[in-house]
C-alpha cells in the first residue's frame, strides 16, 4: 500500500492570478496538481503579512489569539517595537500536533521558526534567522550534516535590495536550489510522514521586480528582459515542485500554498506626519524629512496617539500604562479613540479620494486579543499604499522610505490540494488561511482541537 504522506510546499507572497493564470503555461506541474484536486484563492490574515500569516496558517489561530500583529511587537509598558522570534509563538504548530500523534515530521524554512524548536523529526529555521553563530536547525547535528552536503545555509537573499536584477535572480535560484535539495534529502533520509517547506524567494522577487511581473503596474513593460527572467524563475520552481512531489511517492497528498498575495504599490502614507499635523502627536522642534519616530523629540505628555508603519499602520493611543508620560486617562480612552477613528476614516487620499483609509478595530477582527494589540489598524487605498512611520516631508510619498519597491501585499494567497484520497473538486473560492491546520490534521486523521474555527478543505 502506498505511503499516506503529506507534503506542503509554501511559496511566499504568491497571488492566485499569477500562478493560475499569468504563469500557468510555465507551471505544468502546479497546473496538473490543481486539475486533479482543488485549488483557489486563500484569504490571508488581517494584516496580510508573512508574520502573522504563516504562524496563523500552521496553528489555526488568528493573529489576536497568537498576539502577533506583525514582524515587530510591543512589550507591555513600552512604546518601542522589536522583532519577534519563534519564542513568542506559544501555540502548537500543526507539525507539533502530528508529532504528538506519533508522526515523523520535517518543517523546513517556515517563517517564525528561528530559533528552531524540538520536534519529532527535523526543523530548519526560516528567513528570520539572525545569521552566523545562531542555531538554525533542530537537532543541531543536522546543521553540520546539511552544510557538508549543500554548503553554507541560505536562509534568505543576502543584502536584499542592494543587488542588480541579474544578481538577485542568480541568488534566488541558488537559494531555491539549496532549499529543494535539502527537502529531497530530508525526504530520503528521514522518511517523514509530514514534510513542509516554504520558499521565501518569491516574496523577495516580487518586492524587487513586481513591475516586470504585473501588467497592472504603472511601470510595466512586457518587452523587458526581466519580465521573461521572472517567468523563468517560476518555471524553475515548478520543475522542482514536480521533482519533490514525485519523490514523495504515489500515496502522497500535496498542498501548495501561499500566505498572501502581491499587488502594485503606488506609494506611502506618512501616518505619523498626518497625526502630527492633525494635532494628535506633538514634537519639540521640526523634524528633518525621513526622521524615524524613535529618533524624534516627541512630547509624550501632549501626544494622544502615534503609529507604527509597515504594510499597514498600527495606531496606538497614548493611554495610561503604555509608557512614561501617558497623555490619555483610561476614563477618556474610549471617547478619544472614537474621535481618532472618525478623523482617520475621513482622511482623503493623495488625489482627494474618499474611502481611502480602512480603519479596523482588532477586537472586531479576532477571537481573542493577546499581547500588545494596536488600538486601530489602518490600510490605505486597498493596500495600494504602504504606511510609513517616519516624520518630516509630505503626508504622501511616491516611494517607500527604504528605496524603490514595486509591490505591496494583497489579501489573497492561493492553495492547491491534490493527491491520494483528495476529491477533485476544482476551483474553491472561499478557502481561508485558518482552514489549513484543520485540513492537514484531517489528512492525517488527527482530531483538530475544537477551538480551531477553520474547516477541513479535504472533506
Ligand atoms: Zn509572506
CA nearest neighbour of 215 among 224, 202, 207: 224
252 Cα to the center of ligand 1, angstroms: 26
Same structural domain, 418 and 321: no
In the prediction, which pLDDT does 2 show? 63
Whole-angstrom Cα distance, residue 382 to residue 48? 12
52 Cα to the center of ligand 1, angstroms: 9
In the prediction, which pLDDT does 382 show? 95
Tens-digit pLDDT string for the chain (459 aa): 567 899 999 999 999 999 999 999 999 999 999 999 999 999 999 999 999 999 999 999 999 999 999 999 998 889 999 999 999 999 999 999 999 999 999 999 999 999 999 999 999 999 999 999 999 999 999 999 999 999 999 999 887 777 889 999 999 999 999 999 999 999 999 999 999 999 999 999 999 999 999 998 888 888 888 999 999 999 999 999 999 999 999 999 999 999 999 999 999 999 999 999 999 999 998 999 999 999 999 999 999 999 999 999 999 999 998 888 899 999 999 999 999 999 999 999 999 999 999 999 999 999 999 999 999 999 999 999 999 999 999 999 986 545 557 899 999 999 999 998 898 999 999 999 999 999 999 999 999 999 999 999 998
291 Cα to the center of ligand 1, angstroms: 27
* Cβ proximity of 61 and 445 under 8 Å: no
137 Cα to the center of ligand 1, angstroms: 21
Same structural domain, 137 and 217: yes
Q: Which residue has the cell 480602512?
A: 358
Cell numbers of 16, please?
A: 492566485
In the prediction, which pLDDT does 322 show? 87
Is 148 inside a domain boundary?
yes
Same structural domain, 283 and 358: yes
207 Cα to the center of ligand 1, angstroms: 11
6 Cα to the center of ligand 1, angstroms: 22
* Cβ proximity of 384 and 237 under 8 Å: no
Same structural domain, 237 and 317: no
Question: Is the alpha carbon torsion for 161, 167, 172, 177 positive or negative?
Answer: negative
| Ion ligand 1 contact residues with beta carbon within 5 A | 12-13, 50, 203, 259
Is 348 inside a domain boundary?
yes
279 Cα to the center of ligand 1, angstroms: 35
Total domains, the chain: 2
12 Cα to the center of ligand 1, angstroms: 5
48 Cα to the center of ligand 1, angstroms: 8
Is 454 inside a domain boundary?
no
Same structural domain, 139 and 241: yes
141 Cα to the center of ligand 1, angstroms: 29
244 Cα to the center of ligand 1, angstroms: 22
Is 185 inside a domain boundary?
yes
43 Cα to the center of ligand 1, angstroms: 13
168 Cα to the center of ligand 1, angstroms: 18
Whole-angstrom Cα distance, residue 428 to residue 78? 44
204 Cα to the center of ligand 1, angstroms: 9
Same structural domain, 189 and 137: yes
CA nearest neighbour of 155 among 134, 180, 181, 136: 136
Is 141 inside a domain boundary?
yes
Same structural domain, 353 and 436: no
Same structural domain, 259 and 273: no
Do the strands 121-125 and 137-138 form a parallel or antiparallel pair, or are they unpaired?
A: antiparallel
240 Cα to the center of ligand 1, angstroms: 20
Same structural domain, 249 and 277: no
Containing structural domain, residue 396: 267-404
Same structural domain, 124 and 233: yes
Helices then strands, counting H and E runs in the chain, come out as 13, 21
Do the strands 194-199 and 137-138 form a parallel or antiparallel pair, or are they unpaired?
A: unpaired
300 Cα to the center of ligand 1, angstroms: 34
Same structural domain, 75 and 212: yes
Whole-angstrom Cα distance, residue 234 to residue 89? 31
In the prediction, which pLDDT does 401 show? 44
Is 452 inside a domain boundary?
no
Is 203 inside a domain boundary?
yes
* Cβ proximity of 14 and 52 under 8 Å: no
pTM, whole model, 2 decimals?
0.96
Same structural domain, 145 and 189: yes
Whole-angstrom Cα distance, residue 265 to residue 184? 36
In the prediction, which pLDDT does 414 show? 98
Q: Which residue has the cell 484543520?
A: 438
Q: How does DSSP assign 397-457, residue by residue?
A: ESS-TTS---EEEESEEEEEEEETT----EE-S-EEGGGHHHHHHHHTT-PPPTT-----T
The CATH number assigned to the domain holding 57 equals 3.40.720.10
311 Cα to the center of ligand 1, angstroms: 11
CA nearest neighbour of 387 among 274, 279, 260: 274
262 Cα to the center of ligand 1, angstroms: 9
Domain termination site, one of 355, 373, 404: 404
Amino acid at each position: 500500500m502506498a505511503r499516506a504522506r503529506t507534503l506542503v510546499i509554501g511559496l511566499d507572497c504568491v497571488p492566485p492570478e499569477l500562478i493560475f493564470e499569468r504563469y500557468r503555461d510555465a507551471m505544468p506541474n502546479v497546473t496538473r496538481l490543481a486539475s486533479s484536486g482543488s485549488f483557489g484563492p486563500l484569504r490571508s490574515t488581517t494584516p496580510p503579512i508573512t508574520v502573522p500569516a504563516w504562524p496563523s496558517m500552521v496553528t489555526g489561530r488568528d493573529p489576536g489569539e497568537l498576539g502577533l500583529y506583525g514582524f515587530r511587537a510591543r512589550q507591555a509598558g513600552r512604546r518601542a517595537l522589536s522583532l519577534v522570534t519563534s519564542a513568542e509563538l506559544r501555540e502548537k504548530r500543526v507539525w507539533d500536533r502530528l508529532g504528538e500523534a506519533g508522526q515523523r515530521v520535517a518543517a523546513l524554512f517556515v517563517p517564525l521558526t528561528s530559533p528552531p524548536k524540538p520536534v519529532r523529526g527535523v526543523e530548519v529555521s526560516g528567513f528570520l534567522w539572525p545569521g552566523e553563530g545562531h542555531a538554525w536547525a533542530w537537532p543541531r547535528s543536522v546543521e553540520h550534516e546539511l552544510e557538508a552536503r549543500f554548503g553554507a545555509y541560505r536562509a534568505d537573499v543576502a543584502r536584499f535590495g542592494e543587488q542588480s536584477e541579474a544578481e538577485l535572480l542568480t541568488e534566488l535560484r541558488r537559494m531555491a536550489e539549496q532549499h529543494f535539495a535539502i527537502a529531497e534529502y530530508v525526504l530520503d533520509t528521514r522518511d517523514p510522514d509530514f514534510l513542509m517547506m516554504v520558499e521565501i524567494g518569491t516574496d523577495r522577487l516580487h518586492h524587487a521586480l513586481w513591475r516586470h511581473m504585473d501588467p497592472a503596474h504603472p511601470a510595466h513593460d512586457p518587452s523587458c528582459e526581466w519580465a521573461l527572467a521572472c517567468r523563468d524563475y517560476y518555471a524553475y520552481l515548478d520543475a522542482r515542485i514536480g521533482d519533490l512531489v514525485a519523490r514523495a511517492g504515489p500515496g502522497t497528498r500535496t498542498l501548495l500554498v501561499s500566505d498572501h498575495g502581491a499587488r502594485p504599490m503606488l506609494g506611502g502614507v506618512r501616518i505619523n506626519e498626518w497625526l502630527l499635523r492633525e494635532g494628535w502627536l506633538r514634537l519639540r522642534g521640526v523634524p528633518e524629512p525621513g526622521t524615524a519616530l524613535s529618533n524624534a523629540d516627541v512630547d509624550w505628555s501632549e501626544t494622544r496617539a502615534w503609529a507604527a508603519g509597515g504594510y499597514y499602520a498600527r495606531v496606538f493611543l497614548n493611554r495610561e500604562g503604555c509608557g512614561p508620560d501617558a497623555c490619555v486617562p483610561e476614563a477618556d480612552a474610549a471617547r478619544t479613540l472614537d474621535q481618532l477613528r472618525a478623523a482617520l476614516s475621513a482622511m482623503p487620499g493623495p488625489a482627494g479620494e474618499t474611502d481611502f483609509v480602512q480603519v479596523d478595530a482588532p477586537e472586531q477582527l479576532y477571537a481573542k486579543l493577546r499581547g500588545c494589540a494596536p488600538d486601530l489598524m489602518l490600510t490605505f487605498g486597498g493596500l495600494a499604499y504602504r504606511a510609513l512611520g517616519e516624520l518630516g516631508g509630505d503626508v504622501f510619498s511616491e516611494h517607500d522610505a527604504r528605496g524603490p519597491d514595486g509591490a505591496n501585499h494583497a489579501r489573497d494567497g492561493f492553495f492547491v490540494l491534490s493527491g491520494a484520497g483528495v476529491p477533485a473538486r476544482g476551483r474553491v473560492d472561499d478557502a481561508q488561511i485558518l482552514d489549513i491546520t484543520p485540513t492537514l490534521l484531517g489528512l492525517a486523521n488527527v482530531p483538530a482541537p475544537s477551538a480551531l474555527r477553520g474547516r477541513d478543505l479535504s472533506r
